[in-house]
Amino acid sequence: MIVRTGLTGPFPRPEPLVAATRDLDRGRASPEAVEEVFARTEADVAALERRLGLDWVTGGYLRWADPFRPFAETWEGFTVGPLTRWFQTNTFFRQPILHAPPARVPGAIAGWLPPAARQDPAHGGALLPGPYTFAGLLDNRSGETPEALVHRLGRLFADEVRELAATGLATFEFSEPLLVDRPPEGALAEAVVAAYRSIHDASDGATTFVWTYGASAVAAFPLLDRLPVTAVGVDLAETDWEEIPATSERRGLGLGILDPRTTLVEDPAEVTRIVRALNERRRPTQFLLGPGGPLDLLPWEPATQKVHLLAAARQALQDGNGGRR
Amino acid sequence: MTASRELFPAQEIGSLMKPRWQIQGQHAEPLDPRARTEFSDENGRTHFGDELPSAAEALLAGRAREVGADAVRDLGALFALRLFERAGLARVYDGEARRIEMYEYPIRQMRGFTFHGHVRSFDHKYYLKASVTDEVRLEHPYHLEEFDFVRRHARGEPKLPITGPYTLADWSYNEHYLARQPGWKGRSARRAAQREFVVDLARRAIRPTLAALIEHGCRVIQIDEPAAGTHPDEADLVVEGFNAATEGLQAEFSMHICYSEYRDLLPTLLEAKRCRQWAWEFANRDRDGRDGYEVLKALAEYGDTREIGLGVADVHRDEVESPALIADRIRRAAKYLGDPARIWVNPDCGLRTRSLDVARRKLEAIVAGAALARAEFANPRA
């Protein structure tokens, strides 16, 4: 059993960064002073990820105001729109408004990646919005159909992956909560498959995975199993693991084992029991273990406690598995 | 229902922005010129400062420390009361002048919770969120002193807002009740744990507080459940919490919900007993050619005949609605409900996000719009 672990979404901001950014908003701190706190905290998160032996290092994506903002602010065709609730949470994103077919600006997103991901790209992780979720949550005034927009975003993300993979970046995660919240059907589902085919073709052997959360993935599995990616991830707090279907094709399976909706730390014994049972039933090529949703739904301290479970679970699985990773 | 009242009485929904002079006074800072002008302008209109002369005098003389922060808050409460009354509202409160927000304060009156730090809401905005780590226990009923002050000073009918059990639970991390669930904490375990948490909050904290408030003379109580729309599939928990919190109590209860797809909560929400009024936001969605009041048809379809606290002014826009627009909104609501006598008018939600000047003008527009509509209904051929 191959088990890999890593963060699958943004990490929370610690209290000093909360204070610094509040002070910035109130004119009590300079941008330079806040920048220092950001850099220090990114280094802290990356150090934690390395210490725990996580397989890809993200640096926490602490500067990303929401999953879309770097794109809405740097790619062409967008403006930044109103505050909008992020699924069934008490957090919000600014809805991108697409006025014309989008166009990417080379190099723009690379500049948004945390230093930890850029400095050691072989172990760096790019956490990106999935084309279906991006297309579905923006305000589309471009005149493109939803299907055409998913196709187009797939090609743009493929170009992004090509550019970043050329720098040595080895892991790309596409966050797709909308795939399970509102599973696509018909032509739209085909557009999603095509979008990920474009991304796969551009990935040059890098690990690509799609991470779903916030709703049960069971109904979406027929589609998820068609996506040409290294693995698809599901939120185990929402998805009944006993209903995850077997598949004839061997592929990776991601399991969101940390629930960011509660500070209660999960039981490693329960996690290993579930992983082993799924290994028997589904025989995935590898397991990716991560948080079931964005850990920044928690404050820093409980999130830090929880993330230790990733290392503990992997260790427990290896101990019962001849130490093989 | 409201047969003895005139049509379309107006009410507030919750908070007002705290005046600058109150914030500076609470921190024992001397008032800057802007705060001083803000104080004297409103005092010129309502003379609220004349009712607490020693506190007002000390505040204006830069001696707020001498009278203390509580006296400044008293002034703030009186300021809000008089502002609401002068605008013409029939039901009033203190603009939540003594409260900082609607979650942390009630939670800090209880045992069983642990605060861990801030969670980002958006951009550089954060909120505190506690974990329930033990059984919920109430330290002591809350909001009593602020209600007593309002009761002593209000000329209108006091209506107290209080955060409901479902919202307090939804805005907390459920640790204690979830830990009691056996096995993997999946969806069904989470739901069962949340039910226990909501009901415990309702029975052990909210109900005793409501009972104490009623004992103090509180007759009209708005239970705020802004989280109700976050998880439409938990509408039954909203209802269960409301029913447990109000069980056996005699008062005029309303339920305030905002920024939700109300149809997704129906018909489950209608199982709320002892809820006499739905106080909901509508004006925010009444734009760009969309009829924000059409959803009221659903209540008629389900045969619900309770009062409506009709949101007729958007609290997220500075643009002040015209009385004609407000009258039109009332007219449409009356048509969908089939009974104008069930309508109260109010802002969509608390006005704390608007400047005091905008808030005042919106309230005045609401009252003027209600008068226009009232005249039409009294004389339908006019």
Q: What is the pLDDT of residues B224-267, one digit of tens each?
A: 999 998 899 999 999 999 999 999 999 999 999 998 889 999 99
Token code pair at residue A164: 């970043």
Quote the pLDDT of residue A209.
96
Closest to B192 (Cα-Cα) out of B141, B142, B234: B234
- In this complex, do A88 and B183 lie within 8 Å of one another by their Cβ atoms? no
> Is ipTM > 0.90 here?
yes
Q: Residue B327 domain-assigned?
A: no
- As beta bridge partners, residue B348 has none
**B181 contacts chain A (CB < 8 A):** no
Q: How far is CA A161 from CA A11, A88, A126, A208, B121, in A?
A: 22, 30, 9, 9, 29
pLDDT band at A321 (very low <50, low <70, confident <90, very high): low
B307-313 sheet: strands from edge to edge? B160-163, B220-224, B252-257, B275-280, B307-313, B343-347
Token code pair at residue B79: 């300021």
pLDDT band at A145 (very low <50, low <70, confident <90, very high): very high
Query: What's B203's DSSP letter?
Result: I
Token code pair at residue A45: 């998160």
Chain A residues within 8 A of B116 when measuring between CB atoms: 263, 298-299, 301-302
Q: Render pLDDT for A167-195 as a digit per residue (tens, 0 to 9).
A: 999 999 999 999 999 999 999 999 999 99
Quote the pLDDT of residue B381.
60
Nearest to A300 among B117, B173, B186 (CB): B117
**A22 contacts chain B (CB < 8 A):** yes
Closest to B184 (Cα-Cα) out of A325, A56, A244, A87: A244
CA distance B197 to B217: 29
pLDDT band at A322 (very low <50, low <70, confident <90, very high): very low
| Gap from A206 CA to chain B (nearest CA, Å) | 31
- In this complex, do B178 and A24 lie within 8 Å of one another by their Cβ atoms? no
- Average pLDDT for B72-91: 98
Is-contact A6 A52, C-beta < 8 A?
no
Q: Residue B67 domain-assigned?
A: yes
Dihedral sign from CA coordinates of B240, B245, B249, B251: negative
Chain A residues within 8 A of B227 when measuring between CB atoms: 90
- As beta bridge partners, residue A258 has A291
- Average pLDDT for A81-89: 87
Nearest to A92 among B117, B121, B126 (CB): B121
| Gap from A303 CA to chain B (nearest CA, Å) | 10
CATH T-level topology, domain A3-319:
TIM Barrel (3.20.20)
Q: Render pLDDT for B271-311 as a digit per residue (tens, 0 to 9).
A: 999 999 999 999 999 987 889 999 999 999 999 999 999 99
| Gap from B318 CA to chain A (nearest CA, Å) | 15
Is-contact B337 B288, C-beta < 8 A?
no
Quote the pLDDT of residue A84.
86
Quote the pLDDT of residue A259.
97
Average pLDDT, chain A: 95
- In this complex, do A270 and B171 lie within 8 Å of one another by their Cβ atoms? no
Helix or strand holding residue B133 (H, E): strand B125-138
**Residue A323, pLDDT above cutoff 50:** no
Query: What's B44's DSSP letter?
Result: H
Quote the pLDDT of residue B345.
98
Task: Decide: helix, strand or coil at residue B347.
Answer: strand
Residue in A closest to B180 by C-alpha: A264
**A8 contacts chain B (CB < 8 A):** no
- In this complex, do A18 and B230 lie within 8 Å of one another by their Cβ atoms? no
Average pLDDT, chain B: 95
CA distance B35 to B20: 5
Chain B residues within 8 A of A13 when measuring between CB atoms: 118, 120, 126
Q: Render pLDDT for B346-358 as a digit per residue (tens, 0 to 9).
A: 999 999 989 999 9
- In this complex, do B120 and A296 lie within 8 Å of one another by their Cβ atoms? yes
Is-contact B12 B93, C-beta < 8 A?
yes
Residue in A closest to B115 by C-alpha: A299
Nearest to B116 among A83, A216, A302 (CB): A302
**Residue A276, pLDDT above cutoff 70:** yes
Chain A residues within 8 A of B124 when measuring between CB atoms: 21-22, 24-25
- In this complex, do B173 and A264 lie within 8 Å of one another by their Cβ atoms? yes
- In this complex, do A296 and B131 lie within 8 Å of one another by their Cβ atoms? no
Is-contact B135 B176, C-beta < 8 A?
yes
User: How does DSSP assign B358-371, residue by residue?
Assistant: HHHHHHHHHHHHHH
Q: Residue B34 domain-assigned?
A: yes
**B178 contacts chain A (CB < 8 A):** yes
Q: Render pLDDT for B29-42 as a digit per residue (tens, 0 to 9).
A: 999 999 999 999 99
**Residue B183, pLDDT above cutoff 80:** yes
- Which residue type is seen at A80? V
Is-contact B31 B371, C-beta < 8 A?
no
pLDDT band at A82 (very low <50, low <70, confident <90, very high): confident
CA distance A106 to A163: 8
Terminus-to-terminus CA distance in chain B, angstroms? 27
Q: Domain segments of chain A: what residues?
A: 3-319
| Gap from A269 CA to chain B (nearest CA, Å) | 10
Q: Which residue has the tokens 């090529």?
A: A285
- As beta bridge partners, residue A233 has A211, A254
Chain A residues within 8 A of B123 when measuring between CB atoms: 65, 94
State the total domains in chain B.
1
Query: What's A226's DSSP letter?
Result: T
Q: How far is CA B331 from CA A125, B6, B33, in A?
A: 57, 15, 44
- In this complex, do B184 and A236 lie within 8 Å of one another by their Cβ atoms? yes
Is-contact A209 A251, C-beta < 8 A?
no
What count of other Cβ atoms lies within 10 Å of the Cβ of residue B378?
10
Q: Residue B328 domain-assigned?
A: no
**Residue B186, pLDDT above cutoff 70:** yes
Query: Omega into B267 within 30° of 0, i.e. cis?
Result: yes
Q: How far is CA B278 from CA A134, B13, B246, B273, B290, in A?
A: 35, 11, 15, 12, 21
Closest to B340 (Cα-Cα) out of B88, B5, B8, B4: B8
- In this complex, do B116 and A263 lie within 8 Å of one another by their Cβ atoms? yes
**B184 contacts chain A (CB < 8 A):** yes
**Residue A165, pLDDT above cutoff 80:** yes
Looking only at Cα atoms, what is the longest distance across chain B? Answer: 68
Q: For Cα atoms B96, B98, B101, give the angle at the middle one, nearest 5 degrees.
A: 65
Task: Decide: helix, strand or coil at residue B231.
Answer: coil
Helix or strand holding residue A277 (H, E): helix A268-282
Among A147-151, A154-158, A320-324, B370-374, the minimum mean pLDDT is found in A320-324
Q: Residue B47 domain-assigned?
A: yes
Query: What's B31's DSSP letter?
Result: P
Terminus-to-terminus CA distance in chain A, angstroms? 7
Pure H helices in chain B: 20-26, 33-46, 48-51, 53-60, 64-67, 69-87, 104-108, 144-153, 165-170, 176-179, 187-200, 207-215, 235-246, 262-265, 296-301, 323-337, 356-378
**B173 contacts chain A (CB < 8 A):** yes
Is-contact A291 A8, C-beta < 8 A?
yes
Nearest to B185 among A24, A264, A300 (CB): A264
Mapping DSSP onto H, E and C, the string for A8-20 reads: CCCCCCCHHHHHH
- In this complex, do B129 and A299 lie within 8 Å of one another by their Cβ atoms? yes
Quote the pLDDT of residue B289.
84
Q: Residue B24 domain-assigned?
A: yes
Quote the pLDDT of residue B215.
98
Quote the pLDDT of residue B2.
45
- In this complex, do B187 and A266 lie within 8 Å of one another by their Cβ atoms? no
- In this complex, do B124 and A261 lie within 8 Å of one another by their Cβ atoms? no
Quote the pLDDT of residue A26.
86
- Average pLDDT for B161-182: 97
Query: What's B225's DSSP letter?
Result: -
What count of other Cβ atoms lies within 10 Å of the Cβ of residue B303?
8
**Residue B111, pLDDT above cutoff 90:** yes
